[in-house]
Amino acid sequence: MSTIAVYPGTFDPITNGHTDLVERASKLFPKVIVAVAASPKKRPALSHDLRISLAKDVLGHLPNVEIVGFNNLLTEFTRSVNGQVVIRGLRAVSDFEYEFQLANMNRAIAPDVESIFLTPSEKHSYISSTLVREIASLNGDFGQFVHPEVKRVLQEHYQTS
């Protein structure tokens, strides 16, 4: 059986840190599904369809990576795609407590799904979607943190907002 790994997130927007983690995961697993959460409670800046489209643009160079949107419980989604592993990124020690709690909750709901934590390379460890959105909304230079297409879309989004 080939292991299917699921990397969930809101990806609002997808950053170079996300890309780094997906590239790492694609070397570890025969199939990686990047699961773009609708996350309406988070009130994302970009539409669900646009976030899916951007992830496809950014990650299209990885043949064993599939991009899928979802709007249900992560454990349900993971089971629906026959996933056995959920990948979570840890940028800093401060991320660990929340991610640990989430992993334990997921394990209680779906004991057959394992959580694995990956860290981005040091040069991406401080990048977050929240900071990228903040910089973009204030017309700052954020191009080094995202793919050029993401930069273009965000600039357009905040110019018309």
129 included as an active-site residue: yes
3-state SS, residue 144: helix
Whether residue 124 is annotated as binding a ligand: the answer is yes
42 included as an active-site residue: yes
Q: What tens-digit pLDDT sequence spans the chain (161 residues)?
A: 689 999 999 999 999 999 999 999 999 999 999 999 999 899 999 999 999 999 999 999 999 999 999 999 999 999 999 999 999 999 877 788 889 999 999 999 999 999 999 998 989 988 999 999 999 999 999 999 999 999 999 999 998 86
Instruction: State the architecture of 4-160 in CATH terms.
Output: 3-Layer(aba) Sandwich (3.40)
53 included as an active-site residue: no
In the chain, domain spans: 4-160
**Catalytic residue (one of 26, 129, 133, 151):** 129
**Whole-structure pTM value:** 0.94
Runs of H (alpha helix) within the chain:
16-28, 48-59, 74-80, 93-109, 129-137, 148-160
Give the type of residue at 134: E
> 65, 32 in Cβ contact below 8 A?
yes
